[in-house]
Amino acid sequence: MNTPGAHMPGVSVLSASWEFPMLRFGVLGSGKGSNFRALAEAFQSGTLGAQPVIVLSDVEHAGILDLAREFEIPSLFISPGSFRTKMSSEAEAEIVRLLREARVDFVVLAGFMRVIKEPLLQAFPGRILNIHPSLLPAFRGLDAWRQAVEAGVPEAGCTVHLVDAGVDTGEILGQSRVPVLPSDTAESLHARIQVAEHELYPRIVREFAENLGTPEN
């Protein structure tokens, strides 16, 4: 494992002042962007070990684009094309072009509601992370918190995993557990899962960046 700064006396691996160029990542999101906010705040406080350098959204007025402006990170709406569950191949090629132009080392999905296809998977093999609001492999797909309440399970949670060609099937990098309370609605459970997400995602991104080591670009 390559831990930038670890060899320097008095310099924590979590220090904001890196001796080496920091790893760079792009963010894709479709929604309000609370996970992106958690990542951007961790970066600002010097605890992330990687820098968000571009935010892309398939939803023109998504909150995540407003947040990116708030954090002064370049952001762009990419028109997704006419499919409902995936990007057109032109749109995905444009995303790859923008991520490469931004010299990202890896990609973080933060509430991105479309399936990732070959051009993007091939451009960043083993380097695309996603967060999913269940304890995978349970409750893949949409509204996992609602699936958990309807199934009557005692425990839910969230999972950070690598993205592969399947839906929520890639290698699991970390999970947090959240109890399901008898009084829970789908909405109240999702709100508590999101609190866990905001702690889990920065922690796993930091570990992932530490394991990747020094930037390639």
Q: How far is the CB of 91 from ligand GRF (least distance, A)?
A: 19
**Quick check: 113 and 31 in contact, CB under 8 A?**
yes
Q: What token pair was written down for 152?
A: 């009557």
Q: Which stretch binds ligand GRF (CB under 6 A): 12-20, 26-34, 80-88, 207-215?
A: 26-34
Binding mask 28-67 for ligand GRF (x = CB under 6 A): -x-xxxxx--------------------------------
Q: Judged by CB under 6 A, does residue 159 bind ligand GRF?
A: no
Location of structure tokens 């099937």: 169
Query: Between residues 4 and 193, which has the closer beta carbon with respect to ligand GRF?
Result: 193
Residue positions counted in the chain = 217
Alpha carbon 105 to its chain's center:
14
Active-site residue flag, 132: yes
**Quick check: 75 and 59 in contact, CB under 8 A?**
no
Q: Judged by CB under 6 A, does residue 202 bind ligand GRF?
A: no
Rounded Cα distance, 116 and 110, in Å: 13
Rounded Cα distance, 133 and 160, in Å: 9
Contacting positions for ligand GRF (CB under 6 A): 29, 31-35, 110-111, 131-133, 158, 194, 197
- Catalytic positions are 132
